[in-house]
Chain A
């Protein structure tokens, strides 16, 4: 089974969110970057489990610039066989998906695994777009998967519930919590990652369908209004008459 895992880089969840250049750029000063958690904990580890069970290879792919390389190396340390970086700024999901789909098509992967969304831009876009470009089924928000040869039984979250579906490779899947247990890279993995191939390739010509023109921070919360515990019922009066939410 030839598996492609799409990994994006995201700011650590505790990072302070601030902007520069008149609110047009994310301020990366002091921000620690990690592999997007859904990509690392669920998509990548699931890919490795499938490979361990039935052989094959796991390639990780990232669309991004050279400063992503340490993040990509971490995926190699966790166990991916090799990595590809498409050397372009991933500012638009459709652009990013076109790049990944082109590589996936040229290299005939059986399975493309993504995270359900990136925790910075919260798009939930790239996986479905790759599937559509490749004309393959898209299984979104998968929380369990079992593979038997090229046949997969997948549990996915749908609006209002869950479903169990069956599908044969090739397909594209986006992974959510439950798919796998996060793995911590060990020393051997980290050493091995240094010599595993990380191929940098040039992007294909494509348009950016969207662009971020500016950012905005939410208005600061006013002070918390405290209600005495002995007078708890007063809370409900405030929620009804002041906040008007009940």
Chain B
């Protein structure tokens, strides 16, 4: 038996969440073979072996040069049939959110999206996932013959489980797609927000876009990505893709530093699954302190420059 993993990529590069999905599969494998499928051109496929892939199927079909969810689902279905895989693992990133439901319907498989732990098989096949925007968890049982799980980014420890993955070319009849990609705008950030392990975020307390220099400096010194609250994105102080919260992106970094953000419930919905939360706010009554692990009551314009200094002298930017 095998477990199939969709290792997603863009512009020749595997996403970090692809490695997490492979690691998830290898941690649940229990003797099963872990097979990763890569759709379209991508480099460094052998590195999937480092996290436990036994085999990589590389589907280089020219139609997969663009992100074509229906065709990727067709490739995965063919691969699952060829490899005898009953369980398919996805990253719960924007690729997984698009492809996993298509495959689930095509295979008549139960899908649990956003898993935060390995399946519990003591009584059936039960997967824990976050619900109510991170305010609770649900244990969901999959009753179908085929099962699909998409794994929440940053929720599974990426265990190195060195194997030398064999790489095989794979082709299948993918059908065709009516969707044509005209233009692509990739973000310039080196580190997409959802994949970042450390995030420095700031809100309306910063007063204006001209004050973001120190936020960027702190992020750089810590090797972190930057984020912001909704009003900040709405006022165009920061780009929209940085907006975290219920209406923006949900993130789950190891470290979330919130500066000049009050901690409204809709903001918390996007960040409350962070492992460690630091709040810097000049109002000791700011609601965010209730969700914080560490807090500094103080003026951001005074505290942040000090942190930048200290972080620089500690050489923390190596992404430890």
> What residues of chain A have their CB less than 8 Å away from a CB belonging to chain B?
11, 13-14, 17, 19, 37, 92-94, 97, 116-117, 119-133, 137-141, 153, 157-168, 171, 177-178, 207-218, 221-222, 224-229, 232-233, 235-236, 238-240, 243, 245-246
The one of A141, A153, A159, A178 in contact with B10, judged by C-beta atoms closer than 8 angstroms, is: A159
Query: Is B106 on the interface with A (CB-CB < 8 A)?
Result: yes
Tell me the bound Cα distance from A148 to B114 in angstroms.
36
Q: Which residues from chain B contact A236 at a C-beta distance below 8 Å? A: 307, 310-311, 314, 316
Q: Which residues from chain B contact A138 at a C-beta distance below 8 Å? A: 69-70, 98, 101-102
Instruction: Tell me whether A17 and B132 are in contact in the complex, defined as CB-CB below 8 angstroms, given that A235-B296, A245-B275 are known contacts.
Output: yes
Determine if B114 and A122 form an interchain contact, defined as CB atoms under 8 angstroms apart: yes
Determine if B94 and A217 form an interchain contact, defined as CB atoms under 8 angstroms apart: no
Determine if A229 and B298 form an interchain contact, defined as CB atoms under 8 angstroms apart: yes
- Smallest CB-CB separation from B255: which chain A residue? A245
**A–B pairs, 21, beta carbons within 8 Å:** A13-B266, A94-B108, A124-B97, A124-B113, A129-B105, A137-B179, A138-B101, A140-B94, A160-B15, A165-B182, A178-B240, A207-B143, A209-B110, A209-B111, A211-B140, A212-B139, A216-B138, A236-B307, A236-B311, A245-B197, A246-B198
Determine if A94 and B98 form an interchain contact, defined as CB atoms under 8 angstroms apart: no
Q: Mark contacts of B206-245 with chain A using CB atoms, 8 A cut-off: 1 yes-contact digit, 0 otherwise.
A: 0000000000000000100000000000000000110100
Query: Is B53 on the interface with A (CB-CB < 8 A)?
Result: no
Determine if B141 and A211 form an interchain contact, defined as CB atoms under 8 angstroms apart: yes
Tell me the bound Cα distance from A207 to B145 in angstroms.
12
One of B30-38, B81-89, B184-192 at the interface: B184-192
- Smallest CB-CB separation from A225: which chain B residue? B294
Q: How big is chain B's contact interface, by range? A: 35 or more
- Smallest CB-CB separation from A137: which chain B residue? B179
Tell me the bound Cα distance from A51 to B16 in angstroms.
41
The one of A141, A167, A239 in contact with B278, judged by C-beta atoms closer than 8 angstroms, is: A239
Q: Which residues from chain A contact B126 at a C-beta distance below 8 Å? A: 213
Closest 7 pairs between A and B when the two form their complex, measured CB to CB: A128-B101, A229-B298, A209-B110, A233-B310, A132-B105, A161-B186, A140-B98
The one of B177, B181, B192, B198 in contact with A160, judged by C-beta atoms closer than 8 angstroms, is: B192
Kindly provide the distance from the CB of B118 to the nearest chain A CB, expressed in whole angstroms: 15
- Smallest CB-CB separation from B266: which chain A residue? A13
- Smallest CB-CB separation from B230: which chain A residue? A177
Tell me the bound Cα distance from A14 to B269 in angstroms.
10
Kindly provide the distance from the CB of B65 to the nearest chain A CB, expressed in whole angstroms: 12
Determine if B98 and A128 form an interchain contact, defined as CB atoms under 8 angstroms apart: yes
Determine if A227 and B296 form an interchain contact, defined as CB atoms under 8 angstroms apart: yes
